[in-house]
Amino acid sequence: MTINPKYSFVMPAYKGRFVREAIASILCQSYDNFELIVVDDASPDDIKSIVCEFQDKRIRYYKNSFNIGFENLVKQWNLAIQYACGDWIILATDDDLYEPQFLKTADDLLTRHPLVDVFRARICTCDSVGNVLSVEPCLPEFTSFEEFMYMVYFGLNGGIPQYVYRKDKLLSLGGFEEFPKAWASDDYTSLLMSKNGVVCSGEVLTLFRCSGLNISTGNKYIEDKLIACFLYFEKVYLNLLSFKSDDTIQSNFYSNKMKKKFAYMAKCNILSYFYRLSIFKRFKYIRYIWEYMPYLDKIRKYMMCCRVFIRK
């Protein structure tokens, strides 16, 4: 066990296929003041044996008595981070990878910008065998809340493992925001954490694996994702859209642009899941579109939904 670690990698683990590779990428960090907490979520795979192979004192292993993540993935995340002793938390996954300089880069940037509560590593996505599928755009070293929110909606494709969060701030928010299947929980939580800005790496430091085994890929849980979309956009509208971190020209520009395009983005995202539901389930969600999203043009939304049924 690392004494007084500055950083805590917290890995809720269920899928055993890539967990050995994921752990190895963390232990190979060039910056060494960290701990790795592996929380076995009652996996059918022998996660403990894989962890024991490393014989590294920086690792602590815990096992849940039942599969919490199956019922509520965000609850599993929030329980797992309670084990963290560090000042900063990285919610690692059991299949994604880190470059050796990930933590050193994060520490340098967070030291340079002491008021910031979140670091974001540039990320690339790959398939199950490691072939790179995409590399996200590069953000400035310091990105204001307004610019970051705009980029989250218009160009960034990431995931939870690329972030480093200040633990006290994260816990003061109640941990990660709960949405069904944790869909958009990382984006919303990161936006809440970014009111003092975000520091970002210019180089790719995190590799997000689209293995087909995770919730975020494929056409699984479409109804849950649709509900999460409703909740996410509603919370952003109510809690974040009007927030301004400062009155600079740049922040005003992105804030105004975001307000103008927010309704369009919400509609596109929600309807993209709506179209993938069976025709019987679509009738169920017309009521949600009408009642729970007052910030969109109800008539236009209703007409768009009607066109879906007419086309079918």
Query: What is the C-alpha to C-alpha distance for residues 5 and 88, in angstroms, rounded to an integer?
Result: 9
* pLDDT band (50, 70, 90) for residue 303: very low
Residue 117 belongs to some domain of the structure:
no
* Residue that finishes a domain, picked among 47, 74, 95: 95
Summarised one tens digit per residue, pLDDT across range 219-272 is 678 888 888 888 898 888 888 988 888 888 888 888 888 888 887 788 778 778
105, pLDDT greater than 50: yes
Residue 283 belongs to some domain of the structure:
yes
Q: What is the DSSP string of 153-207?
A: HTT----GGGEEEEHHHHHHTTSSPP-GGGTTHHHHHHHHHTTT-EEEEEEEEEE
Q: What is the CATH number of the domain that holds 9?
A: 3.90.550.10
Residue 9 belongs to some domain of the structure:
yes
Summarised one tens digit per residue, pLDDT across range 93-104 is 998 999 999 999
Residue 171 belongs to some domain of the structure:
no
* Residue that finishes a domain, picked among 95, 123, 143: 95
Residue 2 belongs to some domain of the structure:
yes
User: 3-state DSSP helix/strand/coil percent for the chain, to nearest 5?
Assistant: 45, 20, 35
Give me the pLDDT at residue 294, please.
Answer: 55
- The closest alpha carbon to 151, from 200, 105, 185, belongs to 200
Summarised one tens digit per residue, pLDDT across range 21-64 is 999 999 999 999 999 999 999 999 999 999 999 999 999 999 99
Domain count, the chain: 2
Summarised one tens digit per residue, pLDDT across range 3-17 is 789 999 999 999 888
* pLDDT band (50, 70, 90) for residue 302: very low
Tokens of 142: 């310091």
Exposure on the CB side of residue 226, measured as CA atoms within 13 A: 21
The residue to which tokens 């992105």 are assigned: 254
Residue 204 belongs to some domain of the structure:
no
| Residue span of the structural domain in which 62 resides | 1-95
Residue 227 belongs to some domain of the structure:
yes
- Apex 262 CA angle, 268 and 216, nearest 5: 50
